[in-house]
Amino acid sequence: MSELEQFQNVVHHRHEYAKQWKREKGALVFGFFGDYVPEEIPYAAGILPVKMFGCQKATYIADAHISPEKWCFFCRDCFAEGLSGRYDYLDGLVITVSCFHLQQSFDSWVLHLPISFHHCLDMPFYVQGDLAKECFLKETERFVDSLEQFIGKVISSDALERAIRIYNKNRHLMRSIYNSMKANAPLLSGSQAMEMVLASTLMDKVEHNNLLEALLIKGAPKDRDNATGPRLMIIGAETDDTETVKLIEALGARVVADLHSSGTRYFWNDVSLNGDLVSSIAARYVDKIPLPQMDFPDDMSASHALKIAIDFKVQGAIILLMPHCDPFQWDIPVLTKKFQENNIPIMVLDLDPVTITAMTRTRVEAFIEMLNAEG
C-alpha cells in the first residue's frame, strides 16, 4: 500500500485505526475538538490525540440535541458520530474554546455520553493582546495538572521535549510537501494534501512522519510534469470535506494552496524548544494563524492568506463556507478586498456536506471557465 493509500485508509477507517492502536499500545485515546488543543501534552503522556470529525451524512440523530437552525453541520455531525457509538473507544475528550458551535458539541457529549475524562481550556479571543500568552499558559498548566491527576503520574520534561520534537518534525515535513506545490509538478494534488493533513490529526505522529519521509524520497509522480488548469487556493473553516476539493480538481483546476483547519492552518508554525516547554507549547497555539473570530485588530489571517496566494502563484481562490459559520462570513469582505486588490478572483461556495449539488458543480465550472478565459 502506497503512502497516499495509507493516508486515505486512515481517514476513511479512523475508528478502526484508533482501536487497533489502543490494543497494540495498551494506551489511552483522547478526542479533541478544534484548532487550539495543545496535542503535545497528551502525546507526551502516552495518549493518542485524535481530532473529532463526523461522517458527512444526515445528522438527524443529533438534531434533537443541537438545532440545525442555529448550529453548523460540522458540530452536529461530530456529535452524531458519538451518539452512533462509533467513538466508544475514547477515554477522554478535550476542547479549547474557540468556536461556540464546537463547544455545543462538546457540552452535549459530556452531558449525554459517558466519558472517563473531559477538559475544557479557555482560549483568549484577543490573541493579539499582550496578555494572551500569559492567559493561555495558565489554562495549559491547568490542563497538565488535570491530566496528570487522571493518569496518576507526572508528565516529565523529557517526555514533553520528545513530543515537541516529533510534532515539529511532522509540521516541517508537511510544509516541505506543501512547498512542492509551488512548482508545476507537486508531490500531491490539493485533495491528496488535505488527506495527508487529515491523517496527521488521526494517527500516531511517528508513523505519519515515516510515511511523509518516504513520500519525499519518492518525489513527484511523472504524470504531474505537464499539469494544466488554473491554480486555485481553498479557504475555509473546520472541514474534512475532501469530496468538494476533488470535484474542483475533476473540473479542471489545480488546488495548490489552502488556508483552513485541515490544511496549512494546522501545521504552519512550530513549538520553540527554548525555555519552559509548557510555556512554549502554549505560545505556539496563541501564535497560530488566527481564526476570523480572533483576527483583530489586524487582519492577520487574511494577510497570511494573501501571502500564501502570492507565494504559490494562485490564479483564483474559493472560500468554502459552512452554513451558520458567522465568523467566516465576517471574513469574506476582508478577504475579497485583499485578493481583488491583487487581481486574484475569489468566489464563495456554500457547502452542502451531505450532497454535492448540481448548483455547486455549475458554479465551480463557471469560475474555472472564467479563469481559463483570463489566461
Evaluate the CA torsion angle 53, 272, 155, 136 in order and state its sign.
negative
Residue 287 lies in a domain: no
User: Does a structural domain hold residue 117?
Assistant: yes
pLDDT value of position 26:
98
CATH number of domain containing 119: 3.40.50.11890
Measured CA to CA in angstroms, residue 23 lies from 18, 45, 173, 233 at distances of 9, 17, 28, 40
Closest by CA position to 41, among listed 128, 117, 108: 117
Query: Are the CB atoms for 171 and 267 separated by under 8 Å?
Result: yes
Distance CA 164, CA 44 (A): 8
Question: Percent of the chain beyond pLDDT 70?
Answer: 97
**Model confidence at 144: pLDDT above 70:** yes
**Where in the sequence is the domain holding 20, given as residue range(s)?**
10-155
Q: What was the pLDDT predicted at 295?
A: 86
What is the pTM assigned to this prediction? 0.95
Among 3, 53, 20, 65, which residue's Cα sits nearest to residue 239?
53
User: pLDDT tens digit string along 327-372?
Assistant: 888 889 999 999 999 999 999 998 866 667 788 899 999 999 999 9
Q: What mean pLDDT is reported for the chain?
A: 93
Q: Note the pLDDT of residue 224.
A: 60
- Does the residue 195 lie in any domain? no
CA–CA distance, 146 with 151 (Å, rounded to integer): 9
| Total domains present in the chain | 1
In a domain, 46, yes or no: yes
Q: What nine digits make up the cell of 331?
A: 471574513
Least confident of 56-70, 117-131, 202-216: 56-70
pLDDT of residue 68: 87
Strand order in the sheet with 92-97: 48-51, 29-33, 92-97, 117-122
Residue 73 inside a domain? The answer is: yes
With a cut of 70, say whether residue 223 has pLDDT above it. Answer: no
Residue 33 counted as domain residue: yes
Measured CA to CA, the distance from residue 128 to residue 227 in angstroms comes to 40
**Position 219 in a domain:** no
pLDDT digits (tens, 9 = 90+) for 256-269: 999 999 999 999 99
pLDDT tier, 227 (very low <50, low <70, confident <90, very high otherwise): low
- DSSP state letters, 196-212: HHHHHTTS-HHHHHHHH
Instruction: Give the pLDDT of residue 271.
Output: 98
Q: Is residue 112 domain-resident? A: yes
